[in-house]
Amino acid sequence: MEEIILQQAATFVTDLFENKLSPKNLYHNIAHTERVLENVTKISKHENCNAHDIFLLKLAAWFHDTGYTVVEDVGHEFKSVEIIKQFFDQISISEEDKLLVEKLILVTQSNLPLKHIWSK
């Protein structure tokens, strides 16, 4: 089920970037997102994360810069959370997992170390 959700996320984000991202945005695009996903995969395996945690990290990676389709810079993380909430309406995922993914997206805005985000 998690692989299906990640496939749906890929389609959702790719369509969003293709249809809504300003052509002026040369960096925060689908190619950047795919690079982030590759690095999330490498780092999470190196850190021996379990499969579910890797799923959550990848889901956050897919959506982390989607806010750039709405704003040019400041506050894009918050817009990214608004966008993933729309995606959450289309999938089945626990409230706890939703909250964690939202926190992972916001981590660059809040400057909190990841260990504080991940602790329950």
Question: Which tens digits make up the pLDDT trace of 4-45?
Answer: 999 999 999 999 999 999 988 888 899 999 999 999 999 999
pLDDT band at 101 (very low <50, low <70, confident <90, very high): very high
pLDDT band at 116 (very low <50, low <70, confident <90, very high): low
Average pLDDT, the chain: 91
Q: Residue 116 to residues 65, 72, 74, 112: CA-CA distances in angstroms?
A: 21, 28, 23, 7
- Tell me how far the alpha carbon of residue 38 is from its chain's centroid: 13
Question: Does pLDDT of 113 surpass 80?
Answer: no
Number of neighbours of residue 93 by Cβ within 10 angstroms: 17
Number of domains making up the chain:
1
Question: Which tens digits make up the pLDDT trace of 43-100?
Answer: 999 999 999 999 999 999 999 999 999 988 778 999 999 999 999 999 999 999 999 9
Which pLDDT belongs to residue 74? 78
Cα(17)–Cα(80) distance, integer angstroms: 12
Cα(34)–Cα(65) distance, integer angstroms: 11
Which pLDDT belongs to residue 98? 98
Q: Which domain holds residue 25?
A: 2-118
Angle ∠(56,57,58) on CA atoms, nearest 5: 90
pLDDT band at 108 (very low <50, low <70, confident <90, very high): confident
Query: Coil, strand, or helix at residue 80?
Result: helix
